Structure 1
Amino acid sequence: MAVDMDTEDWLGCPTPLEMYQHQCSLLVDELAETERMLRRARANIAGLVQMNDLLATGKASAEAALRQALERISAMDDDAPDNVSFRPIDLVTGQRDHLFRENQRLLMELKVLRGPQP
């Protein structure tokens, strides 16, 4: 059974020109969407570059402050006598030991002044 029908006349079937035009409009829409995404990506990249510059500047200033602090600490260590420490716990323990020795000395003087106890 050989049916030779031309389907171009059927209602609702697009012509080849209409199919090409539709395909072109789809491609144009896709290209516009791609361009919009590209603009947004470029704006994001520009923002990231600016943030990176700010972070690099902050890092450089923090490193400079750290170098200065380390230099000051090393200068303090070089200028300080050997028995002096700048650590807070060492200062507190040194004060505690000094007060303990002073307390023991005063107790001994008090015992000497009171004399022997019967």
Structure 2
Amino acid sequence: MVRQVYSEMERCHSNKNTTWFVTRHAGAQEWAFDEGLKVDQVVDHLDTDEVKKGDIVIGSLPVNMVASLNEKGVRYFHLILQIPREMRGKHLSADRMRSFGARIEEYVVVKRTKKIVDNDINENFAR
């Protein structure tokens, strides 16, 4: 699965699109390099005005930002880790990230156009 994701990213990268990695952690940058991710821009904050259709963004971004990126035709790959509570908020090395199952998975987020009200929640989400 991971190799399939990387192959897909490589295909997009070869189309002259930019691959952005949004992180402020040196360990995450090292992990991406070790994994063979081809990253063009590493930023600690993403300016969505700089990202264009066909680009790839990797990171741990809020869903509203991912929805905005997807709407522009940008592909988003989420950096996933299973971090124990006591390790949250700490800088992690690439090795520590691997020990917590670091991987990326593509997500598509779509903003609902109608306002969700209590009845919608009760009817559609409570089961």
Higher Cα Rg, which structure? 1
Higher relative contact order (CA 8 A, sep 6+): 2
Greater share of residues in strand: 2
TM-score range, shorter chain: under 0.3
- Tell me the TM-score normalised to structure 1 length: 0.15
